[in-house]
Structure 1
Amino acid sequence: MGIKEKIFRKESVASYIGQDKKLLKTLTAKDLIGMGIGSVIGSGIFILPGTVAAMHSGPAIILSFVVAALVCSFAAMCYAEFSSALPVAGSAYSFGNIVFGEGIGWFLGWSLIAEYMLAVATVSTSWAAYFNSFIEGFGFKIPTALAGHFDPSHGTYINIIAVLIILSLGILLHRGAHTSMAFNNVMVVVKIAIIVLFLLVGAFYVKPANWTPFLPFGYSGVFTGASLVFFAFLGFDVVSAAAAEVKDPGKNMPKGIIGTLVICTALYILVALVLTGMVSYTKLNVDDPVAFALRMVNQNWMAGILSIGALAGMFTMMITMTYSSSRLIYSISRDGLLPHYFSKVNQTTHNPDRSMWLVIIIIAIMGGTFSMTQLASLVNIGTLFAFACVSLGVIPLRKHPELKQHDGYRVPFYPVLPVISFLLCCFMLSQLSVETWIAAVIWFALGITIYFTYGIHHSRLSQK
């Protein structure tokens, strides 16, 4: 078999479903929506509506969120059809293996590894910063040597709080998907309760005059704002990683993915509406616009509660992204592209513990010792590459001999909508910086090296 044939050899649907039977089906649509909201709604909901309104959109920031949500909704519908038709672990990686071939699947998986792990590592450092600030209010302070990434010139050697929060995620996820998602759902309720509390309190201080002019930067500002807040919606795709552990995936996967997007869009729009009504958009270009607006109306107590909401928001995001990372590594090693050692499933918890602890250790090292500022940009490119491939992949999915008659969710306006989704993702990719593309080329070069020196030779397909 030549190199080209090896790269484009495809895995069968039946084979994947058979292997993933080791994973326990315990998750419902409610769990999936909790997972999705936990991933999408983080501390950004308290920042983006203010800063983007101040610099680009004005009160029309609500239209920016609508435009961004529409773009995401196209990709979400494509993910929903894949997850409904293919209830297997691995998300876009496994989808790619089935409809495009092993080589494309590998690079989709490699992109998602960058998205999930770097996102968690980056957020862990933000969580540590929020936590340190929170405990300093009570007179406690982490020693300088343990309060930052490895930088001896500034006296910091490890971000111990970032490491500890990641290890705590590992302990929680080790107990299995059902337990970790139950805890995640509780944290999501806490987070949403704090957002609703802000909306209720802030509504009393809204002055309609602050919404005038509604379009201070014109419609171009709305679209510029949409390109910026687009990334606030990223994370709904992690829901698809749980497909193999979902009850009745044909119905629950679309509910989980699309329900996540609808709820998150509503929350973003409501927060933006109240925020720009409380304070003139011209004053919101600050690091903490929501807390700033509350202080402006003498509601300092609520500003303090927001810190708890931010911590809860970041924690749920880390749970879902880490969970998805472990299922991704499990899926890739299940296929032999990474060592089979990491595909073993714990017979008691039905959890891929080895892949999960590999993910935990890598993220803990990154979050505890590296500055994530530059690497974080890879999150965006990895996500959009996966979105583009999944969108285009709906077309061969409909023609797949094992799936032509699948009775799950189907994207409307086929094939026009998947093509539009693909083009929109390509447009968003074109908006990324040169630095981001350079980092991506380096990351994909490493992926190429691993695939052609190890994966292509150890692939389970090559053993058949």
Structure 2
Amino acid sequence: MKFFRTKDIEQMRAQALASGMAKNLTAVDLVLLGIGGVIGTGIFVLTGVAAAKYAGPAVVLSFIISGFACGMAGLAYAEFASIVPASGSAYTYSYAALGELIAFIVGWNLVLEYTVTSSAVAAGWSGYVTGLFNSAGVQLPFAFTHVPADGGIINIPAILITLLLSFFLIRGTKESTTLNRILVGIKLIAVFIFLFLAGPQVDVTNWQPFMPFGFSGVAGGAAIVFFAYIGFDAVATTAEECKNPARDLPIGMIGSLVLCTILYVVVAAVLTGVVPYSSLNNPEPVAYALRYIGYNMGSALVGVGAICGITTVLLVLLYGQARIFFAMSRDGMIPAGICKIHPRYKTPYLVTGAGCVVVSAIAGFAPIGVIAEMANIGTLSAFFVAAAGVMVLRVRRPDLPRTFKCPAVWLVGPLAVLSCGYLMYNLPVETWIRFIVWCVIGFAIYLSYGYKHSILNNKHVVKK
């Protein structure tokens, strides 16, 4: 039963206070960080793909279903954040409520989520920038903008943007959030330019048939567009760098999620209203829609906004990846030698650098198409476990002070579990097979390393 030993929550709080990381993030920073992590590839790319291949105009329902699942899980996250204001997101929450083995598997899946998604986003950023240069008449060398599997040698732009953003993250959290604020502002302006120009051009006949692939298409679309929400849980990894985590984290998570869901639904409705859904299966559906209705300049502006949007997503994902690594390293789940804070910048520089190297290698050399699908199931599994954990902790530790309590927890908790489980059920069988294999590998690593080196093997901090 030592596999299910839990960390003492009071010790976790003390550990977070003594982490040495600079505490300078406010609720506004967290809301913008959430928007930075969510509004990007989803709104500028996935909206069109999901409409064309899965749900048609009913893609708005796909976003609502995914947003609902995230919202239910977000309420559970918010309660956990008020109880355990420590880095690590669902990994830390699972360690407090469900035990070490489950926490390790959750952390293992979050590492996969952040690493693979970061690589995919970096590759997407490279594609957008290369396209922008081509539009300006500057042809970048094919060999140095594509991976070997696509006929190139190395994707240099993807590596460069990863290195640049990692530098900002090492340099300081405040500097990174300042950059995020600027880029979030630009991409929101791009979204509103699209809505302002395209909104009056909506033709309701394009919404017919509304559900061409049936409800199964809507459900499949919801499972796919869930990728658009990856990055939302990165807000929870900021706990040790917040000025007032118990108050600010719930505001940041719920606030950013509500705003992003509204934007997704409105953009999806306008997009499918101005362009037949069947023509939206392209890498830049929002810019394409503006060109389709004759706004070439608006299309160019939206393209720049898309690049900014993808940049902030990558920034937030790299940030979250480093904090998950940091939390697992501090607990002995992975080598503790990389769990160090920079003496000047007060950031976990070694894990940030290590993550940068891995992401750069994948984005620069590897085809990430099929592997990227695993990011969805990894995130959904973390949400599933967190929702279950908040109910378990209500039973085991009703005495814990909770500055934020999940409303109607015995309704919200099961709804979160069921909605996340439903989205996982609708993912392809191949994704499930890879997910199970990845979890088995994680279990083997836990048995061979994590279990032996766990901080709980060296200190009597098990909460019974």
- With structure 2 as the length reference, what TM-score do the two structures score? 0.93
Q: CA deviation at 1:108?
A: 0.8
Aligned partners of 1:388, 1:267: CA distance in 2, in Å?
25
1:143 pairs with 2:141: yes
Deviations 1:191-210 (A, max 9, x none): 11100011111123223443
Aligned partners of 2:64, 2:96: CA distance in 1, in Å?
33
Q: 1:391 to 1:202 in 2, by over 3 A?
A: same
Aligned partners of 1:183, 1:143: CA distance in 2, in Å?
29
1:395 pairs with 2:391: yes
Q: CA deviation at 1:215?
A: 4.7
- Residue equivalent to 1:318: 314
Q: 1:25 to 1:146 in 2, by over 3 A?
A: same
Report which stretch shifted further, 405-414 or 241-250.
Answer: 405-414
Q: Give the alignment of 1:128-139 within 5 angstroms.
A: 128-139=126-137
- Residue equivalent to 2:406: 411
Q: CA deviation at 1:365?
A: 0.9
- Where structure 1 has 5 or more consecutive residues not aligned to the other structure, the ranges are none
1:450 pairs with 2:441: no
Does the 8 Å CA contact 2:42/2:227 hold for their aligned counterparts?
no
Does the 8 Å CA contact 2:233/2:253 hold for their aligned counterparts?
yes
Aligned partners of 1:283, 1:323: CA distance in 2, in Å?
35
Does the 8 Å CA contact 2:147/2:153 hold for their aligned counterparts?
yes
Q: 1:385 to 1:145 in 2, by over 3 A?
A: same
Aligned partners of 2:205, 2:362: CA distance in 1, in Å?
47
Does the 8 Å CA contact 2:113/2:379 hold for their aligned counterparts?
yes
The one-letter code sitting in structure 2 at the alignment partner of 1:442 is: V
1:255 pairs with 2:251: yes
Deviations 1:30-84 (A, max 9, x none): 1111111111111331233334334444433333322322222111111111112
Q: 94, 103, 108: which one pairs with 1:110?
A: 108
Q: 223, 232, 238: which one pairs with 1:227?
A: 223
Q: 29, 32, 51: which one pairs with 1:31?
A: 29
1:273 pairs with 2:276: no
Identity %: 37
Deviations 1:129-153 (A, max 9, x none): 11111112233333233222234xx
Aligned partners of 2:327, 2:423: CA distance in 1, in Å?
28
Q: CA deviation at 1:303?
A: 1.4
Q: 358, 361, 365: which one pairs with 1:365?
A: 361
Q: 1:30 to 1:110 in 2, by over 3 A?
A: same
The one-letter code sitting in structure 1 at the alignment partner of 2:243 is: K
Aligned partners of 1:306, 1:117: CA distance in 2, in Å?
27
Aligned partners of 2:429, 2:407: CA distance in 1, in Å?
35
Secondary structure, aligned partner of 1:24: coil
Q: CA deviation at 1:224?
A: 4.3
1:236 pairs with 2:270: no
- Residue equivalent to 2:291: 295
Aligned partners of 1:365, 1:261: CA distance in 2, in Å?
31
Aligned partners of 2:295, 2:75: CA distance in 1, in Å?
40
Secondary structure, aligned partner of 1:204: helix
Does the 8 Å CA contact 2:219/2:426 hold for their aligned counterparts?
no
Secondary structure, aligned partner of 2:409: coil
1:427 pairs with 2:422: yes
Aligned partners of 1:87, 1:447: CA distance in 2, in Å?
26
- Residue equivalent to 2:121: 123
Does the 8 Å CA contact 2:220/2:427 hold for their aligned counterparts?
no
Does the 8 Å CA contact 2:48/2:277 hold for their aligned counterparts?
yes
1:462 pairs with 2:457: yes
Secondary structure, aligned partner of 1:423: helix
Deviations 1:94-148 (A, max 9, x none): 1111111111111111010000011001111111111111112233333233222
Does the 8 Å CA contact 1:43/1:311 hold for their aligned counterparts?
no
Aligned partners of 1:448, 1:217: CA distance in 2, in Å?
39
Does the 8 Å CA contact 2:16/2:85 hold for their aligned counterparts?
no
- Residue equivalent to 2:462: none
The one-letter code sitting in structure 2 at the alignment partner of 1:73 is: G
Aligned partners of 2:431, 2:53: CA distance in 1, in Å?
22
The one-letter code sitting in structure 2 at the alignment partner of 1:183 is: L
- Residue equivalent to 1:374: 370
- Residue equivalent to 1:170: 166
Aligned partners of 1:89, 1:61: CA distance in 2, in Å?
34
Q: 1:170 to 1:282 in 2, by over 3 A?
A: closer
Does the 8 Å CA contact 1:59/1:215 hold for their aligned counterparts?
yes
Secondary structure, aligned partner of 2:432: helix
Alignment RMSD, CA only?
Answer: 1.9
Aligned partners of 1:184, 1:207: CA distance in 2, in Å?
35
Aligned partners of 1:335, 1:372: CA distance in 2, in Å?
30
1:336 pairs with 2:332: yes
Secondary structure, aligned partner of 1:344: coil
